[in-house]
Amino acid sequence: MNPTGLFYIDGMDLWTVFSMFVEDGTDDFLKFAAKKESITHDWKDSHGLDVDLSRVFLKDRDIDLRICFVVTSEADFWLKYKAFLAQMILPGPRRLEPKSLGDEQFFCHYKECGNFTRFTPIKDTNLIGIKFNVTFVEINPAIDTSAVFIVDEDGRYLVT
């Protein structure tokens, strides 16, 4: 497997620049963000609850990626590790592009790193593998309603 071109951060190929690839977690990009609570009012003189659904807003969502980091030496590790960390903590959001999802881009910021497994020799190679999770937060998940269509039971598009 050649992981070149599979995942980009800020336009940089994760494998080419940092010797990393995403092993798992890109499905998190497809999860629906939770809806924020709508404005409600409980009128004393009517049944049920009056809920304002004229505008729906979404909460932020976590994207948890399992990353594999493959290096040739401890010096290679420290060089790429520090470069990756420096990229993660730059001001502003990171642009994440999982190519398995086409040309979609997600704007997130770095939250945390966890489950770090360090310096495991890869069998029958001179390489060292490291695995860790990186959690990003998509702060403004939005739905592009211009691409939403209503279809009837026969598969015909309805124009409103």
Q: Are strands 12-13 and 20-24 parallel, antiparallel or unpaired?
A: unpaired
What average pLDDT does the segment 52-66 reach? 92
pLDDT of amino acid 122? 79
What residues have CB less than 8 Å from 49, skipping those under 6 apart? 40, 41, 42
**Tokens 């998190």 belong to residue:** 28
Sheet holding 61-71, edge to edge: 12-13, 7-9, 94-98, 106-121, 128-138, 61-71, 20-24
pLDDT of amino acid 80? 94
Q: Which domains does the chain have, with CATH numbers?
A: 7-34+50-158 (2.40.30.200)
CA distances from 147 to 35, 53, 154 (A): 19, 20, 20
Question: How does pLDDT run across 99-118, given as a tens digit for each residue?
Answer: 999 999 999 999 999 898 87
Residue 56 in 3-state DSSP? coil
What average pLDDT does the segment 45-67 reach? 92
Residue 47 in 3-state DSSP? coil
User: Is the confidence at residue 44, as pLDDT, over 70?
Assistant: yes
